[in-house]
Amino acid sequence: MTASPINSNALAADGRSLNALKLQAGQNTPASIKEAARQFESLFMRELIKSMREATLKSGMLESPGGDLGQDMLDQQLAVQMSGMPGGLSELIARQLSQQMAPQQAAPVPLAQRQTRPTAELAVPVPLAQHQTRPTAELAASLPRPAANQAEFVARHSAAAAQVERTSGIPSGFMLGQAGHETGWGKHQIKMPGGSNSFNLFGIKAGAGWSGKVAEVTTTEFVNGAPQKMVAKFRAYASFEESFKDYARLITRSPRYAQVSQQTGSVQAFASSLQRAGYATDPDYAAKLSRAINQTLQLQRAQA
C-alpha cells in the first residue's frame, strides 16, 4: 500500500500529516526525504516566528484568546509557505539525510564543503528575511525593495562588518543595518567642525568617559515623545573600521547593553533590546531598525 502524500499546505504538527510523514519516511525515497526536510524547516520556521511574536512589544488592548488563535494559525501557514524554498535550510537537511541513509555510497563530503551558508549563520536561528525568496504579501509590505544607495552602502562596509562579527559575535547584517539607519545609508554622516568625516556610523555620543576626538552637531532627540532639536557631542574616529569596533565594544562590554548581545538570533528581539536599553530616544526606533536590518539581510543574500 502506497502512503498518501502530505498536503503541501499542512504542517507535521498536525496528527494526520505526521502519520503520513512517518509512512513516507519508511520508504526511504528521495521524495520522502525531501518532504521530511521541508517539514522540519516548517517546524523550525514556526518556532522562529513564534519567538519573534513574543519579542514584539504589545499594548494589551487588542489581545484576546480568539485573536491569539487566529495569529497562531496564520503563523503556521506562513511557516509552511516559507519552507522548501531553493537554497533554504531544507536542502541542506535533505542532503545530510540522503548521505546518512546511504552508507554504501562514497564517504559523505565534510559539512564545510557542502553547506550553502556559513557555519556561523547556521549556528544562530536564521533571521526571517534570509529564509524567504518570495515573501508573502503581508511580509513584502514591511520589506520594501532595497534602493541602489543601500546596496552600495552595504557593499562598501561589508568587509569591516564581517571582521568585527568574527571577534564580537554580532551578525554583520545587524551592524550594517543599524549603521545604514543611523546615517541614512551614508547620506547624513556626522561631520567634524572643518567638514571632515567623523566616521561615526552608529551615532554614538561622546560621554564623560570618552577621551578621543569629538564632533559637535545639532541632532533630533525625542523628549516625552516629541522631537526636539539640540546640540550634542558625538565620538569621532580615524576610520569606519574603528567605528564598527567601538560599536561592538559598547554592545558587548557595557552593562547597559548586556541583554542586547544575547538577542542576535532574532532581528526584532535585537532591535527591541536596543530600544529598551535606551540606545535611541525615538519611540519607533525598534520598528525602524528592524526594517533596516531585514533590508540589509536581503542585500547580503543577493550579493553572496
- Alpha carbon distance 38, 94 (integer Å): 8
DSSP assignment of 78-117, as one string?
Answer: HHHHTTT-TTSHHHHHHHHHHHHT-TTSSPPPPHHHH-SS
- Per the residue annotation, which of 54, 152, 221, 284 is the catalytic one? 221
| Active-site option among 35, 75, 91, 246 | 246
- As a whole number of angstroms, the distance between CA 163 and CA 244 comes to 9
For the chain, the farthest-separated pair of C-alpha atoms sits apart, in whole angstroms, at: 81
The 3-state DSSP composition of the chain as helix, strand, coil percent (nearest 5) reads 55, 10, 40
**Residue 246: active-site member:** yes
Cell output for 98: 540522503
CA angle, residues 192, 151, 120, in degrees to nearest 5: 100
CA angle 196, 201, 204 (to 5 degrees): 100
Instruction: Supply 216's cell numbers.
Output: 559637535
DSSP state for residue 256 in the 8-state scheme: G
242 and 263 Cβ atoms separated by less than 8 Å: no
Active site residues: 221, 246
